[in-house]
Amino acid sequence: MKTKTILISLGVATAFFLLSTKKAFANLVHNQGFRGCDGFGCGSFGASRGDRVHQGIDIPTVKGETIFSPISGTVTRFPFPYGDDLRYTGIEIKNEIYSVKIFYLKATVPAGAIVKQGQAIATAQDIAAKYGSGMTNHIHLEVRQTPTGQIIEPTNLF
pLDDT in tens, 58-115: 999 999 999 999 999 999 999 999 999 999 999 999 999 999 999 999 999 999 999 9
Please indicate, yes or no, if residue 5 is contained in any of the structural domains: no
Contacts of 137 (CB under 8 A, 6+ apart): 60, 61, 62, 63, 124, 126, 127, 128
Please indicate, yes or no, if residue 37 is contained in any of the structural domains: yes
pLDDT in tens, 134-157: 899 999 999 999 999 999 999 999
Q: What is the CATH number of the domain that holds 47?
A: 2.70.70.10
Please indicate, yes or no, if residue 64 is contained in any of the structural domains: yes
Q: What is the pTM of this model?
A: 0.84
Please indicate, yes or no, if residue 39 is contained in any of the structural domains: yes
- Contact in structure between 55 and 142 (CB atoms under 8 Å): yes
- Contact in structure between 49 and 55 (CB atoms under 8 Å): no
Q: Is residue 137 exposed (0-12), middle (13-18) or buried (19+ Cβ within 10 Å)?
A: buried
Instruction: State how far the Cα of 6 lies from the Cα of 87, in Å rounded to an integer.
Output: 61
Task: State the residue range of the domain holding 143.
Answer: 24-157
Total count of domains within the chain:
1
